[in-house]
Amino acid sequence: MEKLLIKGGKPLKGQVAVSGAKNATVALIPAALLANDTCVLENLPQIRDVYVLKEIVEQMGAKVQMNETGTMEIVSSDLCNSHISNGKVKELRASYYLLGALLARFGEVSMAYPGGCDIGLRPIDQHIKGFRALGAEVEIEHGIIGIKAKKLAGSHIFLDVVSVGATINLMIAATMAEGTTVLENVAKEPHVVDVANFLNSMGAEVKGAGTDVIKIRGVERMHGSTYMVIPDQIEAGTYMIAAAAIPGGNVVIESVIPKHLDSIAAKLIEMGVEVQFNGDSVRVRNQRRPKSVDIKTLPYPGFPTDLQQPITSLLAQAEGTSMITESIWEGRFRHVDELKRMGADIKVEGRVAVIEGIEALSGARVSATDLRAGAALVIAGLMAKGETEVCNLFHIDRGYENLEGKLATLGAEIKRVKY
């Protein structure tokens, strides 16, 4: 077992580069299987979710190689199996994209129900509704989802809720359906646009990604492509929050797409933090204790739910009372109990957390309950007086590339130890 030891109180200074986007990458790898060909994906993050997906698609017959700079070659011409027996699909949510990709390519797929972070109910009814609308039969029996279609046919699908996963999955599934598919009330997250761009580079005809309506004109076949994933919006936001966490912080975060960071920049500025964009980098500087703010998580371009947990740590030491409304995941406050061990004064009632900022958190032994809770606790450890131990690093390793290494280059006193 491993844990992080953090000595708090040191302001972060220097430069840090953001890796490729996790939530785009975990869709690009399944999407690459649409072609009976070779795809090369560049700038992929070195994280556990990527390694797990690699192992799953290799077991299905794809040949996959990934080098240390994050370039992955996927040869899927020998892909023979659309019945995924690898139990690891339960380790990550994004394995559901294999359903859309294999359904489109082979007309059938079966797989165990996907897993992922424990942050709420996480239904996939909108994915299933969409597959059915495209003409597929869907059955769930003994924990296995089986989907079959003689021929997928374009359809008009209005999503009941704005879902990133359903938007991407249906976009992938519809690429080779007969006729045109119209998806309405879709998610507009940067990774939705990134997946659409990748699909188009493989020969698909997807229009409108980034707006509320996406149109997909089915094509006969898809071909291989070389594609570079976008930088990770949430990793960038995590470093922006970390930079602001300790007065005296001055960090340049490189390889970002500024537009993706508008909502987090706006909140940090409201808290009294300096945020300056310059080309593809952003400088975050903070001289004083931040001011309290109210935050409501929303689909893009609103404040991302994935940064709600990291920013809670910052607000725990802000001047005044803040209120966070979590409107996406009803169970995404499990980090709060851990922050309370560090002295935070936070009350949670349903989807709302009320945070009374205190002068200083104090180091404690805490446990990452999910990926972004892990990031929140690391930030809290950087801010706290004394030493913090963060356990359960498995979750952090799923989605942050070398978190402690990057923070150490910014001057944080943080190290990973075995116990």
Interaction between residue 93 and ligand EPU (CB under 6 A):
yes
C-beta separation of 127 from 103 below 8 A: no
String marking each residue 292-311 x if it binds ligand EPU according to CB under 6 A:
-------------xx-----
CB of 320 to ligand EPU, least distance (A): 27
Find the shortest distance in angstroms from Cβ 309 to ligand EPU. 9
Stretch that binds ligand EPU, among 52-60, 141-149, 158-166, 352-360 (CB under 6 A): 158-166
Residue 163 binds ligand EPU (CB under 6 A):
yes
Q: Does 188 bind ligand EPU (CB under 6 A)?
A: no
Q: Is residue 39 near ligand EPU by the rule CB under 6 A?
A: no
- The Cα 419–Cα 417 span in angstroms is 7
Distances 131 to 76, 139, 332 between C-alpha atoms, Å: 23, 11, 28
What backbone phi and psi angles, to 5 degrees, belong to 391?
Answer: -105, 175
Backbone angles phi, psi at 194, to 5 degrees: -65, -45
Torsion angle in degrees (nearest 10) through CA of 47, 30, 188, 182 = -170
Whether 83 and 99 have beta carbons less than 8 Å apart is answered as: no
Neighbour tally for 309: CB within 10 Å: 30
Helix (H, G, I), strand (E, B) or coil at 48: helix
Q: Among 50-58, 80-88, 159-167, 348-356, which window interacts with ligand EPU (CB under 6 A)?
A: 159-167
Residues 7-36 that bind ligand EPU (CB under 6 A): 23, 26
Question: By CB under 6 A, is residue 122 in contact with ligand EPU?
Answer: yes
CA distance 387 to 236: 25
Q: How far is the CB of 248 from ligand EPU (least distance, A)?
A: 29
Least distance in Å: CB of 121 to ligand EPU? 6
DSSP 8-state symbol, 77:
T
Number of residues that bind ligand EPU (CB under 6 A): 27
Q: What is the DSSP letter of 405?
A: H
What residues act catalytically? 117
Q: Does 166 bind ligand EPU (CB under 6 A)?
A: yes
- Candidates 28, 209, 230, 328; binder of ligand EPU (CB under 6 A) is 328
> Which is closer to ligand EPU, CB of 27 or CB of 72?
27
For residue 409, give Cα distances in angstroms to 164, 277, 286, 404: 33, 21, 18, 9
Are 139 and 119 contacting, i.e. CB atoms less than 8 angstroms apart?
Answer: no
In the complex with ligand EPU, which residue's Cβ is closer, 8 or 329?
329
Which residue is it, tokens 């690093």? 393
Smallest distance, ligand EPU to C-beta of residue 50, A: 12
As a whole number of angstroms, the distance between CA 132 and CA 136 comes to: 5
Q: Which residues bind ligand EPU (CB under 6 A)?
A: 23, 26, 93-94, 117, 119-127, 161, 163-166, 187, 305-306, 328-329, 371-372, 399
